[in-house]
Amino acid sequence: MKDFKLYAITGETFHPGRSLVDVMEQAILGGVDIVQLRDKSSARAELLEKARALRELTRRYGVTFIVNDHIELAMEVDADGVHLGQDDLPLVEARKLVGDKIIGISTHAIEEALLAESQGADYLGVGPVFPTTTKADVVDPVTVAYVREVAERIRIPFVAIGGIKLHNVDEVIAAGASRICAVSEIVGSDDVKGTCEAFLKKLNG
């Protein structure tokens, strides 16, 4: 996969009155390298419509498009890959379905990270670093100590995620993260493009 620095995940509850595509386009214009569609509540037909729209958008800008959980949907719209949690389809089984597409795995402990790396994950999600309310089923924060451990022991790309804001991202970068993901801080911003640019400025040091 192409390397990346800034990863944005959709969160439509954070931008009422603004369209999904418009918000994610502003994120891309601000420098986001990866867009993930994460939608736990929409019916399949609506989810497919969103996935197609984001696939078209990301393709136009040459940005990587990932679908959360829904492998079949990702294949249907020719997404670049899927992101799976610890309770989703095991990585080995997912690889049989997606072939050489990107597979990202959420991890909350070094044992999970080492296993995902050994099984051929393309990148890891490392978090939630800080408390977050973006997801209903969120686990306890892993803190920057886990980010530091992954930075020291894992060789594949990883992205720090969970409660990351402009005011605390420096702490995450100092722990060894060179790639970060934000949801509400980006998509809920009054200036999505400007927020992404501010994150990148910090990442680029």
* Of 103, 113, 189, 119, nearest in space to 151 by CA: 113
Which listed residue (50, 55, 101, 106) is catalytic? Answer: 106
135 is catalytic: yes
CATH of domain 6-203: 3.20.20.70
148 is catalytic: no
H-type alpha helices, 62-183: 71-76, 91-98, 110-118, 143-153, 169-174
pLDDT band at 21 (very low <50, low <70, confident <90, very high): very high
The pLDDT of residue 85: 97
The pLDDT of residue 134: 76
The pLDDT of residue 191: 98
* Average pLDDT of span 27-45: 96
Question: For residue 7, what are the contacts with CB-CB under 8 A and spacing of at least 6?
Answer: 32, 33, 34, 36, 159, 161, 179, 180, 181, 182
User: Does pTM top 0.95 for this prediction?
Assistant: yes
193 is catalytic: no
| The residue type at 110 | I
89-143 pLDDT, tens per residue?
A: 999 999 999 999 999 999 999 999 999 999 999 999 999 999 987 777 778 999 9
Which listed residue (18, 38, 52, 193) is catalytic? Answer: 38
Which listed residue (18, 52, 135, 148) is catalytic? Answer: 135
49-75 pLDDT, tens per residue?
A: 999 999 999 999 999 999 999 999 999
Confidence check: pLDDT of 181 > 80: yes
pLDDT band at 156 (very low <50, low <70, confident <90, very high): very high
